Amino acid sequence: MKATSWQVAGLLFVLGGFLGALGLLASPRFLGASGGLAALTPHSLALGLLGGALVLAALASIVLAPAGLPVAARRNYGSHGTVLGLTLVAGLGSFAVVLPALGPLAGVRQPTVAGFVLSAVVLDVALVGVVYLRVVRPRVITWHDMGLSAVRQPRVWLAGLVASIVLFALAASLELLMKAAGVQQTQLASLEWLRSVPLWQYLLVAFSAAILAPIAEEIYFRGYVFRAYFEQKGPLQAYLFSSLLFALVHLNLPAIIPIFGIGLFLAFLYHRTGSVLPGMIAHAVNNAVAFAILYLGT
* Residue 97 belongs to some domain of the structure: yes
For residue 174, give its domain range: 154-296
Helix (H) or strand (E) holding 3: helix 3-25
* Residue 86 belongs to some domain of the structure: yes
Yes or no: say if 48 and 103 are a contact pair by the CB < 8 Å rule: yes
> Out of 2-6, 72-76, 77-81, 207-211, which region has the weakest mean confidence (pLDDT)?
2-6
Domain identity same for 132 and 69: yes
Q: What is the pLDDT of residue 40?
A: 65
* Residue 216 belongs to some domain of the structure: yes
Give pLDDT tens digits for 139-183: 899 999 998 876 556 678 888 999 999 999 998 898 888 888 887
Confidence of residue 25 (pLDDT cuts 50, 70, 90): confident
User: How far is residue 56's CA from residue 125's CA, in Å, rounded to a whole number?
Assistant: 13
> Span 176-204, mean pLDDT?
82
* Residue 144 belongs to some domain of the structure: no
Confidence of residue 3 (pLDDT cuts 50, 70, 90): very low
For all residues of the chain together, what is the average pLDDT?
82
Residue 43 pLDDT greater than 60, yes or no: yes
| Single pTM value for the model | 0.81
User: How far is residue 94's CA from residue 125's CA, in Å, rounded to a whole number?
Assistant: 9
* Residue 112 belongs to some domain of the structure: yes
Residue 110 pLDDT greater than 70, yes or no: no
Domain identity same for 97 and 192: no
User: How far is residue 295's CA from residue 193's CA, in Å, rounded to a whole number?
Assistant: 9
Yes or no: say if 249 and 204 are a contact pair by the CB < 8 Å rule: no
Q: What is the pLDDT of residue 180?
A: 84
* Residue 148 belongs to some domain of the structure: no
Confidence of residue 42 (pLDDT cuts 50, 70, 90): low
More confident residue, 228 or 190: 228
Q: What is the pLDDT of residue 103?
A: 54
Closest CA to 26 of 53, 50, 56: 50
Over pLDDT 70: what percentage of the chain?
78
Residue 204 pLDDT greater than 70, yes or no: yes
Yes or no: say if 12 and 47 are a contact pair by the CB < 8 Å rule: no
Q: What is the DSSP letter of 274?
A: S
Domain identity same for 175 and 231: yes
Domain identity same for 193 and 246: yes
**3-class SS letters over 143-161:** CCCCCCCCCCCHHHHHHHH
Residue at which a domain ends, from 101, 136, 171: 136
Residue at which a domain ends, from 108, 136, 164: 136
Q: What is the pLDDT of residue 210?
A: 93
* Residue 230 belongs to some domain of the structure: yes
Domain identity same for 171 and 207: yes
Q: What is the pLDDT of residue 48?
A: 75
Q: What is the pLDDT of residue 33?
A: 42
More confident residue, 15 or 292: 292
Kindly tell me the number of DSSP H helices and DSSP E strands found in the chain: 13, 0
Domain identity same for 166 and 62: no
Give pLDDT tens digits for 46-74: 777 787 778 777 767 666 666 666 777 78
Domain identity same for 186 and 214: yes
Residue 227 pLDDT greater than 50, yes or no: yes
* Residue 131 belongs to some domain of the structure: yes
Domain identity same for 258 and 188: yes
Closest CA to 217 of 135, 163, 287: 287
CA distance between the termini of the chain: 56
Q: What is the pLDDT of residue 153?
A: 66
Q: For the chain, how many residues are written?
A: 298
Give pLDDT tens digits for 112-126: 888 888 889 999 998
More confident residue, 203 or 156: 203
> Out of 234-238, 239-243, 256-260, which region has the weakest mean confidence (pLDDT)?
256-260
Domain identity same for 276 and 163: yes
Domain identity same for 88 and 128: yes
Domain identity same for 8 and 105: yes
Q: What is the pLDDT of residue 106?
A: 46
Residue 30 pLDDT greater than 80, yes or no: no
Domain total of the chain = 2
Residue at which a domain ends, from 103, 136, 169: 136
Q: What is the pLDDT of residue 64?
A: 65
| C-alpha to C-alpha distances, 221 to 13, 19, 137, 155, 229, nearest whole angstrom | 27, 32, 18, 22, 10
Domain identity same for 214 and 292: yes
